[in-house]
Structure 1
Amino acid sequence: MEENKPTAATKAKRKYNDANYERIPLDVRKGTKAEYKAAADRAGKSLNAYIQEAVEEKMKREKEQQD
């Protein structure tokens, strides 16, 4: 069986992502991901963008409440 070796392009993408992004694991109950994905699709966004926007909006509201 042949071993799948990453291409130069894949290595470059991984290196870039490692230098520029942080991962946040998010565990949700079964079925919740599908609900989130459907909401993101309705908003015309990726699931990642939808979740990021939701978190940023909540942070903004909480900051405004503190001020």
Structure 2
Amino acid sequence: MSLKTTLLYAGIAGRGFDSLKQGMDAGWISHGLASLSAAAKAQGFEVDLIDLRALSGWDQFR
């Protein structure tokens, strides 16, 4: 049985949803989450990394 994990970057407090690629401060994801995701994948775990800034709203998240 494999464990599936989803890491969530909830960086929507500043510019909100649909704000990815709107300038330097809105374009970076957490390096810590990205590193954790990569390390877990390298060990064979199934990992999703979701950046809420890339979504249009909560309805798209569901």
Shorter-chain TM-score bucket reads under 0.3
TM-score in terms of structure 2 length = 0.28
Which has a greater percent of strand? 2
Which has a greater percent of helix? 1
Q: Which has the larger radius of gyration?
A: 1
TM-score in terms of structure 1 length = 0.26
